[in-house]
Amino acid sequence: MKIGLLGYGVVGGGVFELCANSEHFDITSVLCLQPESVPGGKGVANADTMLADESIDVIVEVMGGLHPAYELVSRALKAGKHVVTANKHLVCHYYKELMQLAAENGAALRCTAAVGGGIPWLTNLERARRCDFIQWISGIMNGTSNYILDTMHHSCVPFAEVLASAQRLGYAEADPSADIDGLDIRRKLAISANIAFDTGIPEEAVLTYGIRSISAQDVEAFAAHGYTCKLLASAGLQEPGSIYAVVEPTLLGADWPEASVPGNYNLISMEGQAIGKESFFGQGAGRYPTAYNVVQDLEDIRCGIRHFYTNACRDRMVDNTRLRRRYYVRTSAGSDWLTSHTECHWPQGGVITSPVSPVEMHAAIHTMEQKDPGLFAAAVL
């Protein structure tokens, strides 16, 4: 199968290497900023020839960002080429458009590496949803934040230093604020929820709060109370047909499998009416795990797959007001809201609230952050 590769960064380089070791895949052209750096004279600075080349069956997009990725992927699909991408921002933002474009042109559109790095999550979600009724999905879907939180729980390394090492290891996004502020994981949750629940929610519908302001003192307090903090994404069906979709730091007791997920690993679960709970564990970020799932998608196309994970996209309302969770809050800002919702004080300084909706809590966080930008809060499960 002949392949045009868009992007030659951490993941693109990994895809190039893995395909070089395969008898089935021949990368004939690589779009990148430094074409001379690509072995075999395959580098190009412009994708026009690649997209017009009828001998190229599949375009692999691993350049990241929305533009020009969207324009190039759309042109590829319109030309009847199959597309494999690891770009969750692209798939999330243009979810309906790309799904429709692929269907209209009889082309495969696969993005398994976009959610969960090397984990076969989306492929198994597709298999589950085609013969079961998915109730909820939930999990750790960002390797960088898990690496940071896991390292902070095991050593006293400051936040900024751990983030720098996640960048060196190739886990972090080009702009790592997407990892620590939860934008990366909310895109992964939106794509997963759309496939699981046959809908098309935008990423903005996911209520999101990240880990930017967690401190070593917070982590010590969590450990003293038997909790581990993880950045958790969850979405599920509610009566009468709406869904909830939330990303927030979450304190988990030792009996939660998620509590012991190490390093850059992800653990993503779903609950189906027939299958019950199923979980998928593996490396959620990094060059070879991500490249591995790109190559798996190529194998699926070679074996005849010609579609996206679903073709259904019904409107569903996102309503996060019906959940109830307790929250840990550590802040120096006085707040009547917090005082009236405090259930107990921790000796280390934080408080635990009574059960409130994530919508109410996130609004209170934003108000209190005006006075105390260093505030940190986390749901307690």
Burial 162-197 (b: 16+ CB within 10 A, else e): bbeebeebbbbbeebebbbbbbbbbbbbbbbbbbbb
Phi and psi at 251, nearest 5°, equal -90, 125
Nearer to ligand HSE, 166 or 323 (CB): 166
3-class secondary structure per residue, 101-155:
HHHHCCCCEECHHHCCCCCCHHHHHHHHHHHCCEEEEEEECCHHHHHHHHHHHHC
Q: Binding marks (x or -) toward ligand HSE, 175..194, rule CB under 6 A?
A: ----x----x----------
In a 10 Å sphere around its CB, with 0-12 CB exposed, 13-18 middle and 19+ buried, how is residue 131 labelled? exposed
Using rule CB under 6 A, residue 61 touches ligand HSE = no
Site for ligand HSE contains 219 (CB under 6 A): no
User: Binding segment for ligand HSE among 119-127, 148-156, 172-180, 359-367 (CB under 6 A)?
Assistant: 172-180
Q: What is the total count of residues that contact ligand HSE (CB under 6 A)?
A: 11
User: Does the protein bind ligand HSE through residue 7 (CB under 6 A)?
Assistant: no
Task: Determine whether 230 is an active site residue.
Answer: no
Of 50 and 141, nearer to ligand HSE (C-beta) is 141
Binding to ligand HSE (CB under 6 A): which residues in 280-309? 284-285
**Least gap, CB of 221 to ligand HSE (angstroms):** 25
By Cβ distance, which residue is nearest to ligand HSE? 144
Of the pair 117, 358, the CB lying nearest ligand HSE is at 117
171 scored as a contact of ligand HSE (CB under 6 A): yes
**Does residue number 173 form part of the binding site for ligand HSE (CB under 6 A)?**
yes
Q: Which stretch binds ligand HSE (CB under 6 A): 20-28, 97-105, 139-147, 206-214?
A: 139-147
* Degrees to nearest 5, angle at CA 189 with 31 and 95: 50
Q: How far is the CB of 266 from ligand HSE (least distance, A)?
A: 7
- Which span (21-29, 63-71, 75-83, 167-175) binds ligand HSE, by CB under 6 A? 167-175
Any residues with CB less than 8 A from the CB of 203 and at least 6 apart, and which?
92, 93, 183, 186, 187, 190
Tokens of 306: 């010609």
Whats the size of the chain, residue-wise?
Answer: 381
Contact stretch for ligand HSE (CB under 6 A) within 18-26, 166-174, 203-211, 332-340: 166-174
- Which string of DSSP letters, residue by residue, matches 171-233? -S-SSTHHHHSSHHHHHHHHHHHHHHHTB---GGGSEE--STT--HHHHHHHHHTTEEEEEEE
Of the candidates 257, 231, 222, 218, the one whose C-alpha atom is nearest the C-alpha of residue 179 is 231
Q: Of 89, 84, 118, 168, which Cα lies nearest the Cα of 291?
A: 118
**What is the rounded CA–CA span in Å between residue 343 and residue 213?**
23
**Given the rule CB under 6 A, which of 32-40, 62-70, 136-144, 235-243 is the region that contacts ligand HSE?**
136-144
Indicate whether 142 belongs to the interface with ligand HSE (CB under 6 A): yes
Long-range contacts (CB closer than 8 Å, 24 or more residues apart) made by 359-364 = 359/207, 359/320, 359/321, 360/321, 361/325, 361/327, 362/207, 362/209, 362/248, 364/335, 364/337, 364/338
117 binds ligand HSE (CB under 6 A): yes
Of 10 and 38, which CB lies nearer to ligand HSE in the complex structure? 10
CB of 248 to ligand HSE, least distance (A): 17
x/- contact string, 229-268, with ligand HSE (CB under 6 A)?
Answer: ----------------------------------------
Tell me which of 2, 78, 88, 188 is the catalytic residue.
188
Beta carbon of residue 9, minimum distance to ligand HSE (angstroms, whole number): 12
Give the nearest distance from C-beta 89 to ligand HSE in angstroms: 10
**Among all residues, which ones are annotated catalytic?**
188
Judged by the rule CB under 6 A, the positions of this chain that interact with ligand HSE are: 117, 142-144, 171-173, 179, 184, 284-285
